[in-house]
Chains A and B, each alone.
Chain A
């Protein structure tokens, strides 16, 4: 087990300044170099399948109660298989806390859903939920961070509720009146909120991302989206004319040619939408990680659009046709790709992080939000 960086290892480690030099990234890409200490992922689909199916089985026969335990086991599998410098990550949340949070959420959402089925007016009941959401998000981020550790030093999240309301309620509200023009800024702010308020022990996360980059990415997506839309409509028109021209005389809903052209355009549309989604996700995730420092250690992430798109698309396709049986394999595959494209460029070694005085979690007594295991992390 590599505990301290030995001499040979040290030579392969580029320091932070070097990695930031212009042209370094291109150089690293061409030579398939990952600067710094690589993250590795050791999970495998065969082993995970057993854990996954037993989780589902127990969740079903306990009418969902076990799903809180399942959640913890699941998360521990992915954390535990993520290794950096020979040490793994640990997830420490207690299932009982998660169960409490889940029961509240299910009770509230279930009641509203039932009322809505009877009277659509009950949809209005979702409005007060939006007022609670930023608070719940802030609690969930804290819950998740406090219950994650590496080398027995815990992470923490110190973002305040006020900023959560600004980022998750006020800005989106403002977004309605600005025709989405501030959408990139909202995305930027929420990720800055998550990252820059995180801590590892006493080491502070520093976020140096730029809103401009988000605007460029979203602009690109908007441009491609418009082109794709025009393309899809033209393809549909082409098929509709060339196939429907035979004049079956049937109403459209019963005309096979109509359904065929709908299906073909639908599939092309899904692929184009996934491409744009991949482009945005990959660019933004790379930007966030490459502009995040933990103390003086720099994170590095090098996801590529085409491999990401391929994994995403084939996963979706195979899950759909296998009725979900390949979900374990699909999840492992995606996690491996994302984690193994990541590394940490250390400043010195990783031995010096200092733990903070332990906060007693749950002392405030507000279970609401604490057990809300909303997955709002950074996707890795």
Chain B
């Protein structure tokens, strides 16, 4: 068998192009070039390096003396690859890259691996790492957050001293039921016209409760339920895990696309944001689960948590119809839908 193809020959010393006809007699292992400007030249196949095929881009063959061939006849070049000692992997690679079936399969597989890594792999590893690190790390993370919030979002609490003392008492009782030490978590009261009825847990172990939330609660048990949820965030080290998970995802996107600039690109923002919000929602559910367990020990109905959550959602103008369908906006939220949280709390209580 003989392979023929047309190519352009460059001697490597100047940009002058020479048209040549190339011939390879299989079995003779010599590449013969014939052209009007260069006459006849022959190269043993061992002195030829064939560049890997990339789509249908012109193919280059390099010779040991610095000369090269450029040709558009990729299929003919593929025929001579088996005679070489290299390039078979790339031949297979091109076949995979250019067949629709393979592309579809690999595309689906990539999406599956990506989804699996983001949904299970990253959270699992982050949890292992977070619990292997000392609690000081969480505290470092939250340094300065409280003073910033005090400056921009909070005002001093206007609750009466007796109210605060009573709630503080409940909080400490609840802490003794958890496996956290009393000094590790602290409860603060603040008024916040900006945030409204809200409670938050800072990684440094500070739980902040707003006056607005205290007023929204129908009874103390609802407030205790919120305490339990916030203690859950601190107990499960959600801030540290969040930092670890979010930075891993950003690195993964950069690694997979081979593009460090992807981190700053506007286009990468939406998918990254949605993944981060998904993590945030799963932390909320985890904190709810922890709260349900704690409330059972304290002999408080866990549905108290659901009640106040629904009221908070209603206050914020949210939809609390139990028959409501899942909406796209659910995917763009830091917290899961309150109705679903309520159902989940009831299910866990029944267990």
Contacts and interface: CB of A to CB of B under 8 A. Distances in A.
Interface of A: 1, 3-4, 42-43, 47-51, 53-57, 59-61, 64, 67, 70-71, 73-74, 76-77, 79-81, 86-88, 90, 110, 113, 117-120, 150-153, 201, 248, 250-256, 270, 315-316, 319-321, 323-324, 327, 350-355, 358, 375
Contact of A320 (B12, B102, B243, B267): B267
A103 B240 CA distance: 26
Contacts of A255: 317
Nearest to A105: B260
Secondary structure at the A interface, as helix, strand, loop or mixed, is: helix
B14 A316 contact: no
A271 to B, nearest CB: 12
Given A80-B54, A88-B70, A60 B14 contact: no
Interface string B1-40: 0000010101111111101000000000000000000000
Contacts of B148: none
Interface residues of B, number: 66
Given A151-B15, A153-B14, A250 B141 contact: no
B97 A54 contact: yes
Contact of A355 (B12, B19, B98, B140): B12
B188 interface: no
Contact of B68 (A48, A81, A152, A201): A152
A324 B267 contact: yes
Given A77-B55, A80-B54, A352 B14 contact: yes
Nearest to A98: B258
A64 B253 CA distance: 11
A370 to B, nearest CB: 17
A40 B168 CA distance: 74
Given A70-B258, A250-B196, A87 B17 contact: yes
Nearest to B210: A251
Nearest to B113: A60
Interface of B: 6, 8, 10-17, 19, 51-52, 54-58, 60, 66-68, 70, 72, 93, 96-99, 102-103, 106-107, 109-110, 113-114, 117, 137, 140-141, 143, 192-196, 243-244, 247, 251, 255-258, 261, 265-271, 315-317
A117 B244 CA distance: 8
A354 B113 CA distance: 50
Contacts of A90: 51, 60
B264 to A, nearest CB: 13
B73 to A, nearest CB: 11
A43 B56 CA distance: 8
A56 B110 contact: yes
Given A3-B19, A61-B113, A320-B266, A76 B57 contact: yes
A327 B97 CA distance: 16
